[in-house]
Structure formats: C-alpha cells, structure tokens
C-alpha cells in the first residue's frame, strides 16, 4: 500500500471550509487509480496553522469516506501546539480521521487512537547509527506498534484525551521513517520490520 500526501492547495488554504474544490481536484488527479493499494492520505498542515474548531470540522466534513465505492482513509498531521487538546482528539474520533504521530520534539505528539488505523512518522534517523535509530529505540517502537495494533495507547506516550469507553479493537499501523538523516530511513524500516514476529525478549540489543 502507498500513503500519499494531500495537496498543499488544500492544507495551506487560509480558510479550510473553502477547500472543497481543491479536494475534488486532488482526487480527480489520478489518486484513485491506486485502487486497493491506496493507503492513508496524510493532510499535513503548516506549523503556522492554528486550531480553529469550527473551520477544522468544516474541513473534515469535506473529506470523502468513499469514492466510487472504495474506502478512503484520512490522517491529519498538525504541527501547531494549539492542536494538542482533548477537544481536537474527540473531533477526529467523531469523523474517524487519524492523528499523525511524530517523534519530532517541536511538534505536538498525539498518540491517541482516533480512527481504524494509526499513522506514525519517525523523524530522528541518525547518520551515526547503522540502522538509523539505536537498537533500544527500535525495540521501543516495535512494542509501541504492537500496542497501537491492539487499539491501545503505548506505554511511555501520554494520551491527550481519555481512551474510548468501548473495548480496544485491532488496528492497522502505518509507520514511516522520514527526515533526520534520510539515507538511513530504509535501514531503519528494515530493522523495525525484523522485530515484528519476535517477542520483546528476542529483540536485538
């Protein structure tokens, strides 16, 4: 599956409620030709974009849940601290839109489960590390991925809102390595994949 980045003509529109035509153009551009290989679409907002509840909800209403009978998954990557509120998390839950989690310190971290999947962008790959991330960090991310897949907020990450009252449900988890020292991103991804199917006691140290 392939995750796509939504158009900047949408996410950088001054008033999100007016971005309907730009959203339609994005989906008419050939995106749906990926068919079953289409993964989540990441709508990444600029760091200057502040949380405006009514405008953001108007944007969420514009996002199509299906196109030509095919489901479309949406995630939002917000990068202004004003989004780090329980109100925002509950808004995403009401529309079943994912909150992109990033380990980049200057952006809000929202590990809460808000949709049928979890989307994480890990951005601290290092040139000095053979696998981009230290083994201990990769072990932690493997454990976190497993917790997310079970519908739980991982240990060591502070939820922004209260968990859903319903029992946890299984989730798809999408993890991407990006930024930091980018040439190490493939090595980090492969090292993380090797840990899946192992017990924590078998993880490399």
Q: Please name the residues in contact with 194: beta carbons below 8 A apart, sequence gap of 6 or more.
A: none
Mean pLDDT of 147-160: 93
User: What are the pLDDT digits (tens) for 194-205?
Assistant: 999 888 877 777
Give the per-residue pLDDT at 198: 80
Q: Where are the domains of the chain?
A: 2-197
Give the per-residue pLDDT at 73: 97
Average pLDDT, rounded, for the chain: 93
Instruction: Specify the CATH number for 2-197; select among 3.30.420.40, 3.40.50.300, 3.20.20.410, 3.20.20.70.
Output: 3.20.20.410
User: What are the pLDDT digits (tens) for 163-194?
Assistant: 877 777 899 999 999 877 889 999 999 999 99
User: What are the pLDDT digits (tens) for 51-91?
Assistant: 999 999 999 999 999 999 999 999 999 999 999 999 999 99
């Amino acid at each position: 599956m392939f995750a796509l980045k939504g158009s900047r003509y949408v996410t950088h529109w001054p008033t999100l409620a007016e971005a309907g035509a730009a959203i339609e153009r994005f989906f008419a551009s050939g995106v749906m030709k990926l068919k079953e290989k289409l993964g989540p679409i990441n709508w990444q907002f600029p760091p200057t974009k502040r949380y405006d509840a009514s405008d953001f909800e108007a944007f969420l209403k514009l996002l199509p849940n299906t196109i030509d009978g095919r489901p479309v998954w949406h995630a939002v990557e917000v990068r202004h601290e004003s989004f780090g509120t329980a109100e925002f998390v509950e808004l995403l839950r009401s529309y079943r839109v994912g909150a992109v989690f990033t380990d980049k310190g200057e952006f809000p971290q929202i590990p809460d489960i808000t949709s049928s999947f979890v989307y994480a962008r890990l951005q601290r790959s290092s040139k000095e590390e053979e696998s981009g991330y230290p083994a201990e960090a990769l072990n932690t991310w493997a454990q976190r991925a497993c917790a997310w897949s079970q519908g739980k907020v991982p240990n060591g990450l502070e939820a922004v809102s209260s968990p859903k009252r319903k029992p946890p449900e299984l989730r798809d988890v999408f993890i991407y390595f990006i930024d930091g020292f980018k040439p190490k991103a493939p090595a980090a991804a492969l090292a993380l994949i090797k840990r899946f199917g192992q017990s924590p006691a078998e993880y490399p140290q």
